[in-house]
Amino acid sequence: MEKTISFVARYILVLLLALSYDVHAQNTDIDLLRNINGTRGSNADAVMNGITQSTYPLAFATPATQLIVGYIRHDKQTIQNGWQTVGSLGTTVVLAYGLKYAINRSRPYETYKDIVPYHYDTDPSFPSGHTSIAFANATSLSLQYSKWYVIAPAYLWAGAIGYSRMQLGMHYPSDVLAGAIIGAGSAFIAYKGQQWLLKRKQKKIKGIVE
């Protein structure tokens, strides 16, 4: 548990550093977004919007599938994985959307009129909620099933989500980076937290038996 607390401290520090970038970093942020958003086109838009729209269905289908399969097969490990993924996504939503309204950063197209969005959202920009959820899902799966054929597609999908948010003009690169940190960090915390709880439960059971 001490290692988990140490990780949380480092995680918060990295997040605070991401929030405290200077004017030069802001210029780099918008310049990079302009380069990415400038690739918009009819075909690219359709593909990128499709990738973006896959975020919530795929992210929430993951724990639902794990829990359904786990309970049907009476597979304790799969059930634990399902609840760990739920915890990961829940932590991510609370952190990401809490920060959104606490920081209240304007969307890039509201500040820079040359950024052309695919559509208009009314909620704040920082961090990217889609990216945080995608990385929480990808990290949970990677920790639970540490095989390259799980890890590679999971992070490829999460990375594509982040890129699509910039290409569609919805987020700054720093929004996406912060979203990725929040999502991956939340998944790690949920994973380690569940391991700690299970070990504590096993110790209690062992103490009762003895």
Tell me the one-letter amino acid at 45. D
What does the pLDDT profile of the chain (210 residues) look like in tens digits? 555 445 555 555 555 555 555 545 678 889 999 999 887 776 788 899 999 999 999 999 999 999 999 999 999 999 999 999 999 999 999 999 999 999 999 999 999 999 989 888 889 999 999 999 999 999 999 999 989 999 999 999 999 999 999 999 999 999 999 999 999 999 999 998 888 887 777 766 665 555
Integer Cα distance of 168 and 121 in angstroms: 12
Per-residue model confidence (pLDDT) at position 116? 87
CA atoms of 119 and 136, how far apart (whole Å): 25
Tell me how far apart the alpha carbons of residues 170 and 201 are, in angstroms, rounded to a whole number. 44
Nearest-angstrom CA–CA distance, 76 and 67? 10
Domains, the chain, in order of start with CATH, read 2-209 (1.10.606.20)
The answer to whether 181 touches 14, Cβ cutoff 8 Å, is yes
Distance CA 26, CA 173 (A): 10
